[in-house]
Amino acid sequence: MGFAYNGKPVIPTKTALNELSEIGLNLYEIPEILEKGFEVRKRKESITERGIRRGNKIVNVVVVDLGNYYKLIHAGKFTLSKKFKKLIKHKGDENGI
């Protein structure tokens, strides 16, 4: 299955599907963002938020580990601010797809 991350399927919510279509992403890109992206911010243990840089934007996805599968609860895009750019360079994680 193409929608898997860490050996578990990624199942989106209806809201997340709408958000994906608004920002121009498809479900095949979600595992790639989760695997190759950087951590956007700290979340609870079972919640993962990862992002990639595309030009002057950050595309981020949020998934919840529910044991047998991951639930995609959010997908978004925001403009890269100077403060966030410095944080990324400081961590050394400036990557994109």
Structure token pair of residue 30? 């979600």
Residue 94 has pLDDT above 90, yes or no: no
Q: Is the pLDDT of residue 1 over 50?
A: no
Asked if the 4-91 domain carries CATH number 3.30.2310, the reply is yes
Tokens at 19, concatenated:
């958000």
What is the per-residue pLDDT across 11-68, written as a single tens digit (0 to 9) for each?
999 999 999 999 999 989 999 999 999 888 888 999 999 999 888 889 999 999 999 9
Amino acid (one-letter) located at 59: V
Does residue 88 carry a pLDDT above 80? no
Which residue's entry shows tokens 């992002």? 51
For residues 29 and 90, what is the distance between their CA atoms, to the nearest angstrom?
A: 26
**What is the pLDDT, as a whole number, of residue 2?**
60
Domain ranges of the chain: 4-91
pLDDT of 86 reads: 62
Expressed in percent and rounded to 5, the helix, strand and coil fractions of the chain are: 30, 35, 35
Q: What is the pLDDT of residue 55?
A: 84
54: left (phi over 0), alpha (psi -120 to 50) or beta: beta
